[in-house]
Structures are given as structure tokens and as C-alpha cells.
Amino acid sequence: MLSRPLIYTALTRAQQHLSIVHASGAALARAVREVDVRPRRTRLAALLADLGDLTG
């Protein structure tokens, strides 16, 4: 399923690699227009805390 973050990732990586975005116009437009409201789950805070423990 297309989503705004997925399209953003594809386009920003296209600067480094050849990428082809293949989608019908309406599906692509809908994916860019709609913002996903689910919170992102990452380990960034834990990784930064671990890094702080190593340097501090």
C-alpha cells in the first residue's frame, strides 16, 4: 500500500540510486495527500541512550 513516508523514502533514495515509481496517478496523489496518523515506532531513543552510556 502506498503511503506518504514510503513515497518520500523512494524519492529521496532516488538521488543515490535509479528508482522507478510506478503507480496510477490517483493512487500516487492519494498517498501523498493523506498523512498517516499512526505513531512511528523506532529504537532511536534507546540507541542514543546507549551511546550516551558509552561516552559518558
Average pLDDT value for the chain: 78
- Does the pLDDT of residue 17 top 70, yes or no? no
To the nearest 10°, report the CA torsion of 9, 13, 18, 19. Answer: 0
Over residues 9-25, mean pLDDT: 71
The burial of 17, by beta-carbon neighbours within 10 Å (0-12 exposed, 13-18 middle, 19 or more buried), is given as: exposed
Q: pLDDT exceeding 90 applies to what percent of the chain?
A: 0
CA 12-18-22 angle, 5° bins: 80
pLDDT value, residue 13: 78
